[in-house]
């Protein structure tokens, strides 16, 4: 697979992250609804929107930086965030009685594997020349 195609494929998981992050800024009720949660209020709303917006936009930024620069380390940073999220959801289910978020965990794990594979492919190819 060519480097350009790998870079395009690597960017795909960043798209929903970016859209959710932007949604949290401009349409928070719709954005959190798509994640199966209510919009909170008061300080809880500040935490919900602040933390979630940071998570989604930074994850998207890491993925896009990795894809644009063909830099595996940035793809792995995005993958790490997604993997820890899947792990934390599983702990929430096992330890705290949360519902098991099958679809969300599946998406996070598939995206993690996707990004790791793309990072491996990019790490085996020649570096991009910049001048």
d(CA 76, CA 71): 9
Q: pLDDT digit string (tens) for 16-61?
A: 999 999 999 999 999 999 999 999 999 999 999 999 999 999 999 9
Quick check: 108 and 83 in contact, CB under 8 A? yes
Q: pLDDT digit string (tens) for 92-103?
A: 999 999 999 999
CA 41 distance to own-chain centroid: 25
Query: Average pLDDT of the chain?
Result: 95
- The single residue listed with the structure tokens 């995206």 is 111
Does the pLDDT value for residue 84 go beyond 60?
Answer: yes
HSE-up of residue 4 (Cα within 13 Å, Cβ side): 0
């Amino acid at each position: 697979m060519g480097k350009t195609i790998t870079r395009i494929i690597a960017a795909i998981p960043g798209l929903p992250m970016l859209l959710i992050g932007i949604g949290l800024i401009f349409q928070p009720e719709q954005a959190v609804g798509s994640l199966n949660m209510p919009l909170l209020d008061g300080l809880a709303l500040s935490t919900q929107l602040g933390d979630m917006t940071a998570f989604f936009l930074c994850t998207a930024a890491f993925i896009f930086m990795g894809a644009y620069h063909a830099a595996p380390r940035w793809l792995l940073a995005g993958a790490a965030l997604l993997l820890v999220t899947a792990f934390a959801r599983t702990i929430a289910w096992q330890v705290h009685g949360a519902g098991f978020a099958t679809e969300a965990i599946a998406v996070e794990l598939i995206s993690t594997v996707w990004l790791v594979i793309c990072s491996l492919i990019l790490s085996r190819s020649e570096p991009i020349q910049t001048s």
